[in-house]
């Protein structure tokens, strides 16, 4: 401890990294086995089987040894060939970011971009695919976290599949917190991670790769091999008798194993329901407190993150700093285009508990009141959040 040490937060209600489940923290303290220890090889195969179960997938997953940005960049590098036209769907900062990778590998990047408080319409995607039959790959960010909005992935996936195109889906901050499954959306590469709704620390990427995507990667002479960006290097790593391309992150695999046990034992429906209820209570609370949601319509607001528009004249960074120091509550800022305009409350994994919505509403409304914002009613916000929780309890 130094004189300037900052006290730990009382509660971390961010949009990732998130507070890990206690069982995950215990798993992180396990002995670090040699990666070719038969016990680790068996565990690695079992963890892959658990991911496949959680994915409801007909094929084994691929686990890449780096946080999900690795999975996303690897998807672009592997699936997109030099001659490809790519349609990138942009409703926020992550969708936009994927386009920079796609442009690096594609012949041409076509973007459909909507305001960052709106979502992509499946009809608009169908219209572009009809006009541009040369498009080979479509990329979608399901939950653009810096906006807290959910794109209609099922409808968009159906349109992309009907047109016979390959689909890349970033479901990093939605998988595990709501119903979004790789084969149900028709994803050819589906990227998620353990560090959002599964309640793990950052460190791994979890991918589903379809048979069509494996074929395309095999035919793409520029797809990375013997590389940190390679997906194909890891294709058979889930088989206990296959070598690893390089040493997997043993402790992160232990953590993921524990997180999947938590998820599968509680049951996905129950996990999704508590994410949804927490977000519903939070939305009711912030609006009753006198604030606006960032999302243009409440029905596109995410069940895993509530983005709250910050009133004119309030310095968002100062607001979060005040909430952190006065109440010990850590919240997330916006990013890039949404930075300074909104504050985000995460409902992910351990923090997808309805009572945390009350904490978040009290903290954000209390912080704004302390900064002199007009028209803020902390009590009304707290009461509204509680009402949603109590009604759901029956």
Ligand X SMILES: *Cc1c(COP(=O)(O)O)cnc(C)c1O
d(CA 251, CA 180) in angstroms, rounded, equals 27
141 binds ligand X (CB under 6 A): yes
What Rg, from alpha-carbon coordinates, does the chain have? 21
Give how far Cα 5 sits from Cα of 1, 13, 141, 173, 226, Å. 6, 21, 38, 31, 43
Binding mask 86-125 for ligand X (x = CB under 6 A): --------x-------------------------------
For residue 80, which of 142, 166, 182 has the smallest C-alpha distance? 166
Give how far Cα 238 sits from Cα of 45, 243, 244, 287, 328, Å. 5, 9, 9, 47, 42
Q: Would you say 72 or 262 has its CB closer to ligand X?
A: 72
CB of 16 to ligand X, least distance (A): 5
For residue 15, which of 153, 208, 172 has the smallest C-alpha distance? 172
Near ligand X by CB under 6 A: residue from 103, 121, 179, 202: 202
233 binds ligand X (CB under 6 A): no
Residue 306: its H or E element: strand 305-309
73 binds ligand X (CB under 6 A): no
CB of 77 to ligand X, least distance (A): 16
Near ligand X by CB under 6 A: residue from 114, 172, 329, 331: 172
* Cβ-contact 158, 140 below 8 angstroms: no
CB of 40 to ligand X, least distance (A): 26
145 binds ligand X (CB under 6 A): yes
CB of 362 to ligand X, least distance (A): 25
Cβ count near 124 (within 10 Å): 14
16 binds ligand X (CB under 6 A): yes
Which residue has tokens 């945390």? 356
Q: Would you say 348 or 358 has its CB closer to ligand X?
A: 348
CB of 118 to ligand X, least distance (A): 16
Size of the site for ligand X (CB under 6 A): 13
Residues near ligand X (CB under 6 A) are: 16, 67-69, 94, 141, 143, 145, 170, 172-173, 196, 202
């Amino acid at each position: 401890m130094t004189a300037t040490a900052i006290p730990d937060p009382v509660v971390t209600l961010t949009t990732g990294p998130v507070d890990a489940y206690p069982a995950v923290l215990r798993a992180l303290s396990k002995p670090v086995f040699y990666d070719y220890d038969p016990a680790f090889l068996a565990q690695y195969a079992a963890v892959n089987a658990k991911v496949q179960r959680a994915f409801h997938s007909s094929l084994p997953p691929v686990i890449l040894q780096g946080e999900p940005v690795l999975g996303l960049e690897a998807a672009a590098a592997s699936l997109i060939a030099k001659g490809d036209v790519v349609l990138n769907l942009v409703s926020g900062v992550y969708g936009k970011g994927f386009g920079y990778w796609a442009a690096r590998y594609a012949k041409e990047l076509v973007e459909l971009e909507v305001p960052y408080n709106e979502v992509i319409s499946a009809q608009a995607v169908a219209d572009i695919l009809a006009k541009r039959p040369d498009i080979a790959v479509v990329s979608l960010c399901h939950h653009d976290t810096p906006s807290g909005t959910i794109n209609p992935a099922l409808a968009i996936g159906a349109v992309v599949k009907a047109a016979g195109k390959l689909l890349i889906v970033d479901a990093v901050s939605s998988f595990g917190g709501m119903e979004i499954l790789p084969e149900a959306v028709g994803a050819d590469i589906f990227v998620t991670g353990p560090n959002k709704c599964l309640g793990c620390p950052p460190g791994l990427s979890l991918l589903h790769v379809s048979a069509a995507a494996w074929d395309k990667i095999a035919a793409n002479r520029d797809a990375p091999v013997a590389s940190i960006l390679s997906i194909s290097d890891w294709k058979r790593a889930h088989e206990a008798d296959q070598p690893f391309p390089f040493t997997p992150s043993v402790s992160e695999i232990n953590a993921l194993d524990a997180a999947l046990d938590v998820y599968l034992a509680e049951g996905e429906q129950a996990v999704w329901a508590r994410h949804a209820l927490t977000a519903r209570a939070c939305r009711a609370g912030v609006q009753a407190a006198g604030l606006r949601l960032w999302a243009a319509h409440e029905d596109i607001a995410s069940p895993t993150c509530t983005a709250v528009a910050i009133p004119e004249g309030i310095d968002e960074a100062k607001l979060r700093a005040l909430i952190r120091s006065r109440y010990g509550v850590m919240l997330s800022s916006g990013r890039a285009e949404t930075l300074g305009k909104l504050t985000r409350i995460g409902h992910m994994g351990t923090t997808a508990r309805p009572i945390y919505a009350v904490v978040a509403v009290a903290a954000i409304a209390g912080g704004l009141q302390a900064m002199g914002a007009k028209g803020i009613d902390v009590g009304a916000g707290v009461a509204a959040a509680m009402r949603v929780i109590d009604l759901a309890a029956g």
